[in-house]
């Protein structure tokens, strides 16, 4: 598997609020045997997850998701959006506490349920990219880089309520019958995709999109992008004419299908046609939980990281994506090229068709300059310039 398969999902005409475009995804039949619900954490704030090997992942985590493949009904098990389960006499939760979470994905003991932290499984995969740092002790790298690798590694993101217009767009969004997902665009750039197995799951989880994390690029587009055009359908009374309500209904359905085909072929093309690197995190009965990374190409196309639960046919039952900024793509590309050449700066520069000083500059621009031995790099850069 190298691509995301949205088989069984159909796009419906978009709804627009300012610069935010929301494209509903509907299923004719829910995914059998899998349900998804939200797990509300008391005092939701910063969570620290121990990953082993003396490393930890720390981020803002407002809630978790629980995937249930037991076949049991979940009526009454999902907490409503914005509520907190707890003792009223205990007082309000502390402000932005740090809670300890054991693993990013963990099966509930004795149950056919898996708790995982939505989106953070994917973000940790990106942060762990070549986390060990230089595999060979070249003198260009500092002792700290050889000893600790890329630790600590940090990336910035924005909560959904900080993306202008997103909260209001989600509030006024009208859910479609059978809706199991949404493609979220800002200034007509795909910001995120969210898919769940069942319409009832989506109805409960739709408001959580405002709590998700979004990249710097999405935040900038929301601030500076102009309002986008709304979906409109024009039905002309051509040869043969529209004489009955059935004719009008058929023409409207034709317009919807034409728009869906145009959307699948253009707006979501980069997401669906990219070849990803998938890593399976858990197998749950007939379902598999993966996280994925893009190829980090420098071709200007949008690139996403994310999480995916597939059924036995490889189709998406659950999907959540995070769009990387251009800087994050450049960083991933640079780390791949360095690792491909055993972190040797001279050979990496030659493979990239550039010079040693220019590669050093690019490493610094990617936020990795602190890993270099400044004295050795300065001496080699000077020698390269003189040569």
Which residues are CB-contacts of 359 (< 8 A; sequence separation ≥ 6)? 345, 348, 349, 352
| Cβ 368 vs Cβ 129: under 8 Å | no
Measured distance between the N- and C-terminal CA atoms of the chain, rounded to whole angstroms? 47
3-state secondary structure of 334: helix
Widest CA span of the chain, in angstroms? 83
DSSP 141: B
Strands (E), 158-303: 158-159, 179-186, 189-195, 213-214, 277-284, 287-293
Whether the ω angle into residue 177 lies within 30 degrees of 0, i.e. cis, is no
- Would the pLDDT of 17 be above 50? yes
Tokens 């490889």: give the residue: 314
Better-predicted residue by pLDDT, 73 or 204: 204
Does residue 270 have a pLDDT over 60?
Answer: yes
Find the mean pLDDT for residues 31-39: 91
pLDDT 10s digits, 103-123: 677 776 667 888 888 888 899
What pLDDT, on the 0 to 100 scale, is given for residue 43?
Answer: 56
- Burial code (b: 16+ CB inside 10 Å, e: under 16) for 77-99 equals ebeebeeeeeeeeeeeeeeeeee
Identify whether the C-beta of residue 138 lies closer than 8 Å to the C-beta of residue 96.
no
Distant-in-sequence contacts of 26-29, Cβ < 8 A, 24+ apart: 26/176, 26/177, 26/178, 26/179, 26/180, 27/178, 27/180, 27/199, 28/178
pLDDT at site 240: 61
Give me the pLDDT at residue 135, please: 86
Residue 80 CA, distance from chain mean position: 24
Q: Alpha-carbon distance 165 to 214, whole Å?
A: 13
Position with higher pLDDT, 306 vs 111: 306
The most confident of the ranges 31-35, 81-85, 221-225 is 31-35
Instruction: Say which range, 62-66, 123-127, 159-163, 185-189, has the weakest mean pLDDT.
Output: 62-66
For the chain, the residue count is: 387
CA–CA dist 47, 45 (Å, integer): 6
d(CA 101, CA 355) in angstroms, rounded, equals 45
331: pLDDT confidence band, cut at 50, 70 and 90? very high
DSSP letter string, 69-101? -S----TTTSPPTT---S-GGG-SPPSS-EEEE
Q: How far apart are CA 145 and CA 105, in angstroms?
A: 29
Cβ atoms of 78 and 38 closer than 8 Å: yes
**Three-class SS state of 373:** coil
Q: What is the DSSP string of 184-210?
A: EEETTEEEEEEE-SSHHHHHHHGGGGG
Banded pLDDT at 265 (limits 50, 70, 90): low
pLDDT, one tens digit per residue, over 221-244 is: 998 888 888 877 677 765 567 778
Q: What proportions of the chain, in percent to the nearest 5, are helix, strand and coil?
A: 35, 30, 40
Backbone angles phi, psi at 26, to 5 degrees: -120, 155
Res 53 pLDDT > 80: no
pTM: 0.84
- Residue 115: CB partners within 8 Å, gap ≥ 6? 39, 64, 65, 66, 105, 106, 107, 108
Q: Which whole number is the average pLDDT over 86-101?
A: 47
pLDDT at 171 over 80: yes
Residue 320: pLDDT above 80? yes
Q: Residues of 268-299 as b/e, b for ≥16 C-beta within 10 angstroms?
A: bebbeebebebeebbebeebbbbbbbbbbeee
Of 204, 212, 203, the C-alpha closest to 179 is 203
**Rounded to an integer, what distance in angstroms lies between the CA atom of residue 92 and that of residue 124?**
30
């Amino acid at each position: 598997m190298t691509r995301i398969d949205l088989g069984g999902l159909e796009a419906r005409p978009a709804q627009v609020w300012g610069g935010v475009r929301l494209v509903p995804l509907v299923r004719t039949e829910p995914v059998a045997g899998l349900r998804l619900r939200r797990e509300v954490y008391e005092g939701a704030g910063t969570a620290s997850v121990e990953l082993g090997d003396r490393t930890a992942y720390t981020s803002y985590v407002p809630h978790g998701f629980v995937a249930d493949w037991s076949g049991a009904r979940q009526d009454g098990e999902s907490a409503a959006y914005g509520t907190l389960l707890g003792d009223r006499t205990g007082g309000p939760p502390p402000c932005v506490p740090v809670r300890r979470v054991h693993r990013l994905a963990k099966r509930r003991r004795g149950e056919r349920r898996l708790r995982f932290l939505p989106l953070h499984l994917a973000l940790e995969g990106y942060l762990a990219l070549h986390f060990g740092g230089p595999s060979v002790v070249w003198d260009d790298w500092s002792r700290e880089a050889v000893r600790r690798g890329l630790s600590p590694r940090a990336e910035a993101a924005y909560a959904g309520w900080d993306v202008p217009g997103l909260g209001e767009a989600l509030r006024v969004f009208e859910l479609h019958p059978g809706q199991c997902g949404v493609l979220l665009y800002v200034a007509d750039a795909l910001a995120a995709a969210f898919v769940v197995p069942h319409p009832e799951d989506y109805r409960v989880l739709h408001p959580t999109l405002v709590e998700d994390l979004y990249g710097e690029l999405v935040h900038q587009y929301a601030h500076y992008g102009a309002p986008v055009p709304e979906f409109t359908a024009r039905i002309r009374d051509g040869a043969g004419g529209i004489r009955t309500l059935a004719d009008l209904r058929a023409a409207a359905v034709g317009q919807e299908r034409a728009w869906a085909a145009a959307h699948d072929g253009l707006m979501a093309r980069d997401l669906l046609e990219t070849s990803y690197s998938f890593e399976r995190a858990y197998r749950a009965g007939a379902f598999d939980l993966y996280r994925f990374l893009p190829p980090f190409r420098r071709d200007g196309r949008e690139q996403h990281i994310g999480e995916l639960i597939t059924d036995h046919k490889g189709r998406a039952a659950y999907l959540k994506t995070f769009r990387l900024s251009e800087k994050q793509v450049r960083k991933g590309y640079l780390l791949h090229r360095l690792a491909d050449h055993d972190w040797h700066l001279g050979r990496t520069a030659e493979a990239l068709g550039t010079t040693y000083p220019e590669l050093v500059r690019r490493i610094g621009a990617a936020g990795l300059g602190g890993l270099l031995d400044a004295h050795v790099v300065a001496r080699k850069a000077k020698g390269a310039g003189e040569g």
